[in-house]
Copies of this chain bind each other. A is one copy, B any other.
Amino acid sequence: MRDVVVAGVGMTAFGKQPDSSLSGLATEAVDSALADAGFHGEDMDGLGMIYYANVLSGLLQGQESVRGQHALSRTAVAGVPLINVENACASGSTALHQAWLSVASGQVDAALAVGVEKLHTDDKAQALAALTSVLDQERLPEVLAELGAAGGGSVFMDFYARAATRYMEQTGATRDDFARVAVKNSEHGSRNPKAQYSRKLTVDEVLAARPVSGPLTVPMCAPMSDGAAAVLVAAPELARRWGADGVRLRAVVVGAGRRGALGELLPAAALSAFEQAGIGPEDIDVVECHDAAAPAELIVLEELGLCAPGEAVAALRDGATHIGGELPVNPSGGLQSRGHPLGATGLAQVVELADQLRGRAGARQVGEPQAGLAENAGGYLGPDAAAATVTILSR
């Protein structure tokens, strides 16, 4: 397999965008990624495949099929072969994996990964029902019982609440720690003009907010977001010809969950990604991870091998995971503050890492990082996620 670079990245602002359309969001992100790469869409120079990620437009916008072809039919890249991919909240990074494979294999010289989602609806119950459709419908009562689903809220927050409770028992982490994650990420998000939330929270505020499930309160949970993100990958010589300021895409690994297995998914995917990248956890300077709920950030850092078991809490308390700390985590604000438009999230993480590695992250720049890691997870197979990806980028 040959080397692949991220040649250009782009994203829309994330948030509540009732007047936007799926195609409008997709177009903005794609145009921005192409421009970033110095790529001239008109001549389709080497761009041979597009992978499009979306999770819920079937239930929320009635757009069930060939979603990407429709969303991109009025852009410069219309007519490039396109495959729609889906892996729940890990769909965006799954699209990136396929784009990487297309270029790494030599099949095409450039490929585009695009993720788009519109979650906001006037009918919150509809959106929550749509989220439940991610669970195994053939055994739904069993799965809801397994989750201890409180009902009325997002079943995924029941999932994270259970994981949080286990983590508290195992490590001595407290609700205050989960609030600290939310506070840190709100501070990071306040530096990100594309983030859904810009207000800095306090620990007291987070703890006093409306409870969601178990130890979780509203600001500890990712919001419902609209948005799109796009990543253009290419063979290094092609990216150079465009004049792109590229970063190396060292690994994108899609890991698989297995029913009944807990805590196997991420460690295996991370191991495989580090092996593919030829670097280790100690080489990672900045992380974007799937903090769909605050405790997940701590759990994930340990499962990825970036913190020793039980030590993510100390890293958080010491400020190591803040911008300016030893290992900044979610400088973008993470899912909690940047927002979480499902299919776009995994690609937005890569947008952030590419900007950090190129020193373009403005007020949230974390020094001069040489390598970054993104983790993106999706679905529920009980008691863990159904899929997860680990992506490693470097200068």
What is A's interface to B at a CB cutoff of 8 Å? 1, 21-23, 55-56, 58-59, 61-67, 69-70, 73-74, 78-88, 94, 97-98, 101-102, 104-107, 130, 133-134, 136-138, 254-259, 261, 378-379, 381, 386-387
Contact = CB atoms under 8 A, between A and B. Distances in A.
A259 B78 contact: yes
10 contacts: A22-B138, A59-B64, A66-B378, A69-B386, A70-B137, A79-B257, A80-B256, A82-B256, A83-B85, A101-B105
B133 A65 contact: yes
B137 A81 contact: no
Given A21-B138, A65-B379, A386-B66, A83 B101 contact: no
Contacts of A59: 58-59, 64
A64 B58 contact: yes
A67 B97 CA distance: 19
Copy tally for this chain in the complex stands at: 2
Nearest to A84: B86
Given A73-B136, A101-B105, A65 B88 contact: yes
A317 to B, nearest CB: 35
B58 A133 contact: yes
A388 to B, nearest CB: 10
A55 B63 contact: no
Given A107-B1, A255-B81, A387-B82, A138 B23 contact: yes
Which 3 pairs show the lowest CB-CB distances between chains A and B? A105-B105, A66-B379, A79-B258
B63 A133 contact: yes
Contacts of A381: 66, 69-70, 73
Contacts of A386: 66, 69-70
B105 A69 contact: no
Given A56-B64, A65-B56, A84 B82 contact: no
Contacts of A104: 105, 107
A35 to B, nearest CB: 22
Nearest to A107: B101
B138 A258 contact: no
Residue among A64, A101, A130 with max Cβ neighbours from chain B (10 Å): A64
A122 B103 CA distance: 45
